[in-house]
Amino acid sequence: MKSEQSSVLILGPTATGKSELAVALAQRLDGEIISADARAIYKELTIGTAKPPLHLRERVPHHLIDFLEPTQRYDVMQFRHDALTALEAIRARGKLPIVVGGSTLYISALTGTFFAGPKADPRIRQRLEAHPQELLRKRLEEIDPQAAQRIHPNDKVRTVRALEVFELTGVPISRWHKESKIPFPYKFTKIGLTLDRKILYERINARVDQMLAQGLLEEAKALRAKLTPEMPAYRTIGYEELFQYLDGEISYDEAVRLIKKHTREYAKRQIIYFKREPGVHWVDATGKSQGQLIDEVSRILKELGYPVQDLAS
């Protein structure tokens, strides 16, 4: 572990104010921000992904935002690589890396271990996906009973991935998981944001209305022509529902209702996932102003030895 000093990692469900906190901390700690967000990576998905606004990005350098075409594929190990590159570059500049994000698996890639197996092969994947799940499941039970035990019979995504790994390497994925563990070479001080569930949901609902007022529908219209359902960017909350509306499948009101619902469900999944992340300094943002929140987190970091500058402005 080559970490003289840890970097900072801010995690938590959507709409808790992570981005703003990150910028404020970057200013007090002379840092730069690395986004761990599997949708903010794409250009043109701007309003719906709640990217930090330009004026914040001008104040503090942000990395891994807006660097991919929405038609491109990306995955967690590419993220791991890109994040590592960015992190080392920031450190080389003598600055503090601050990772911020809500993409659960991306966070895990930085705090946990991954296996050195093969990456996705679109051709194999496509071929496997064409088969009915029952058949894929049967095959998984034959080649990797251990994985079959952990993967639910209905979970096609994981079934396909397991079969793909086996086809590419001849080694069952369960063995990969057991025998190949590569940790991320840097440690993080983890700050987790929480918010009273009810307030969080209200905030999500309000934010969706705000996104629509800002022109989310126009953005979705422009994207509809370029994206197909196979592309990850297509499956983005706030866009997929509007695509359905634009295709005449559901009403506008229904689309809006679904965006809110899906975002709430997403936030809940994030909460559950992050719960098991070890060593997080949890900070409850309920009832606190932006300033109070920043002060509280600054205090925590100061106690941990970070050189927090007091901005008496």
CB of 94 to RNA, least distance (A): 30
CB of 299 to RNA, least distance (A): 28
CB of 243 to RNA, least distance (A): 13
Residues lying near RNA in the complex (CB under 7 A) are found at 14, 37-40, 48-50, 73-78, 102-106, 108, 113-120, 125, 129, 150-152, 154-158, 160-161, 165, 173, 177, 181, 197, 201, 230, 232, 235-238, 257, 261-262, 264, 266, 268-270, 272-273, 275-276
30 vs 129 by CB, closer to RNA: 129
6 vs 133 by CB, closer to RNA: 133
Token reading at 42: 């794409």
What are the C-alpha distances in Å from 231 to residues 175, 216, 224, 243, 271? 29, 19, 12, 13, 26
CB of 302 to RNA, least distance (A): 30
CB of 134 to RNA, least distance (A): 13
95 vs 139 by CB, closer to RNA: 139
232 vs 308 by CB, closer to RNA: 232
Contact 171, 165 (CB under 8 A): yes
11 vs 301 by CB, closer to RNA: 11
Contact 163, 157 (CB under 8 A): no
